[in-house]
Chain A
Amino acid sequence: MRVLIVDDEAPARALLREMLSAEPEVEIVGEAATGLEAVKAAGQLAPDAVFLDIEMPKLDGFEVLELLDPSVAVVFVTAYDSHALRAFEVHAVDYVLKPYRAERLREALIRARGRVGDRPDASVLARAARPAGQYARRVVVKDGGHIHVIPVERLDYAQAQDDYVALRTEGRTVLKAQTLGALEASLDPSLFVRVHRSFLVRLDRIRTLEPYGKNDHVAILADATRVPVSREGYARLRQLLE
């Protein structure tokens, strides 16, 4: 089994390396010290399993998981027991608490071997990968070898495009493999409005609303983009603005 080790603390990485390398069928293919490095390394090294810390610089463990190929088995290794429920919601194969014994890691390895490729698609993960009752504060996107982290304050609108959403931020467009409905569910409904079947708009970006045709409207955004507003979307907007 090809294993990637991810932790921002050198001693923690050394411990994982020491214990895992003692397992006969494990091949350690690399180490990463930040979430960003982890996603890049996973892209290049194609590991079967990632042993992943949660609190890390740049991207946290949940954001990393969201950007990994669903076939990669993820084992969280952390000192925080408070993330356990969330971890199983995003189908991590195991959740190991620091400090741990070698046997505990062996157990995690067995689970990883049995559950490789058993993860739902990224949109389900995105919804679960945040604390209960909280909305996402950033959207993470992997685009080839590049990783975009978009804070929700900088997301102007999103447009559905087949199996993707086109995220419009700071004058550029980033594609993410996710449905618009899944994105909508992860964002604060008082900030983002589904104005149309194919459009989700950040409310404070809307400058004016103009009638368009018989029943429809069009929203004009701060950057002069014109976004179609359906009848249902118009009703939702009016409700939020009142």
Chain B
Amino acid sequence: MTASVPVALAGTALLAQGRNALTPASAALIAFPLSVAGTVLMLPVWYLCRALPVYSTSLPRLLLTHAGGALLTGLTGAYLGGALARLVDSARPGSGIASAYVAQSAGVTAAGGLVYLLAVSFHYVLLGVEATRRAEQQSMELSILAREAELRALRAQVHPHFLFNSLNSISALVSLEPLRAREMCVLLAEFFRQTLALGEKPGVTLEEELAVARTYLAIEGLRLGARLSVEEAVEDAARNCRVPPLLLQPLVENAIRHGIATRPEGGVLRIEARADGARLRIRVENPFDPDAPPRPGAGVGLANVRRRLLAGYGDRAQIDAERGPERFRVAIAMPADVV
């Protein structure tokens, strides 16, 4: 409605100039009601604009429709203006407003068309803004969905073979060493409970991650026996730092599958973490057999961790994998956010 005020002022000025000009007062008398009526009439044009989106409507159709709309609006405005002028004329006979208006009706028609075109552009801008906002929201929802899907996929990727091998070990231990079989059942349940809980959270502490890794390694220890030994060197300051969930798990799993398990004699898996000032530094290190048969799936877990660090921290986090002649080392440096 407020938009009708500047339109009315412009209309008054238009009617009050030229050779057969109306007096400013009578010009305003016609221009104001006409502008209010015009702005109200322009509101439904919104629907027309929405039905004819700029980018997906053919240009001739767009031009033709809106040219028609402008003409219609102009003529309607001029007609209504004439009716108003006659009304004022009959109320104040002899003012000559009606005859003076006739001379201005072409200008009013043009002004009406212009108002229509202004309204159309305004609506299109609004529609554009709305579309942008919707797209932004959609992409945000999509990225959240993608993150959840990735985490689900990650959990799925971690488990099946590990689960089948562990169940096979339980099957073996049941008759030979019942107590260890029972221990393995409990560890397996603990591991699944921990990973399921972690997957629900956006961020966890390093200590929570280490707890999952310890359970996992205890299970692998029952399978691999003396071949696996674990060293953990973690500073207390690092334990409370926030990390993405299941950050450590794929690295530890790789260290076993592509490292310790490729060596008949096994080896030491070392996990280090320290927080020096603003940086959290995590290191997972393991020996491997350089002549081992290649196992499928190499690099998937590492790529996954890299992608999630990048998504969460951008260039504030780094991950480096270093393949020595017989040792593999993954080093992560990221912001030390204490929870």
Contacts and interface: CB of A to CB of B under 8 A. Distances in A.
B293 A138 contact: yes
B58 interface: no
A80 interface: yes
B262 interface: yes
Contact of A18 (B168, B172, B223, B264): B172
A18 B175 CA distance: 9
A130 to B, nearest CB: 10
B137 interface: no
Interface residues of A, number: 31
B173 A11 contact: yes
Contacts of A37: 264
Nearest to B174: A15
A45 B218 CA distance: 36
Interface string B69-80: 000000000000
Contacts of B263: 57
A151 B291 CA distance: 8
Interface in B248-281: 261-264
A222 interface: no
Interface string A33-59: 111010000000000000000011111
Given A11-B223, A55-B295, A79 B176 contact: no
Contact of A59 (B164, B175, B293, B296): B293
Contacts of A137: 294
A57 B263 CA distance: 6
Interface in B314-338: none
Given A18-B175, A79-B168, A57 B264 contact: yes
Contacts, number: 74
B132 interface: no
Nearest to B226: A10
Nearest to B162: A79
Nearest to A18: B175
Nearest to B171: A99
Contact of A15 (B161, B171, B264): B171
A9 interface: yes
Given A98-B167, A138-B293, A79 B172 contact: no
A131 interface: yes
B161 A80 contact: yes
A43 to B, nearest CB: 18
A60 interface: yes
A98 B168 contact: yes
A149 interface: yes
B264 A33 contact: yes
Interface range on chain B (Cβ under 8 Å from partner): 20 to 34
A197 B267 CA distance: 47
B265 to A, nearest CB: 9
Contact of B164 (A15, A63, A99): A99
B224 interface: yes
Contact of A14 (B161, B170, B172, B261): B172
Interface string A8-40: 111110110010000000000000011101000
B110 to A, nearest CB: 71
Given A14-B176, A57-B262, A97 B294 contact: no
A175 to B, nearest CB: 21
Nearest to B263: A57
A98 B261 CA distance: 18
B165 A79 contact: yes
Contacts of A55: 261, 295
Contact of A11 (B168, B289, B292): B168
A12 B168 contact: yes
B289 A57 contact: yes
B169 interface: yes
A33 B223 CA distance: 13
A126 B168 CA distance: 30
A15 B167 CA distance: 12
Contacts of B170: 99
Nearest to A97: B164
Contacts of A149: 291
Interface string B175-195: 110000000000000000000
Most chain A CB within 10 A, of B171, B175, B222, B295, is at: B171
A60 B223 CA distance: 18
Nearest to A10: B225
Contacts of B294: 137
B209 to A, nearest CB: 25
5 contacts: A11-B173, A12-B223, A58-B293, A79-B164, A131-B296
Given A57-B261, A58-B293, 7 more contacts: A8-B264, A9-B225, A15-B172, A55-B295, A59-B293, A79-B161, A100-B171
Q: List the 5 shortest-distance A-B pairs measured between CB atoms, nearest first.
A: A15-B172, A79-B164, A98-B168, A11-B172, A60-B293
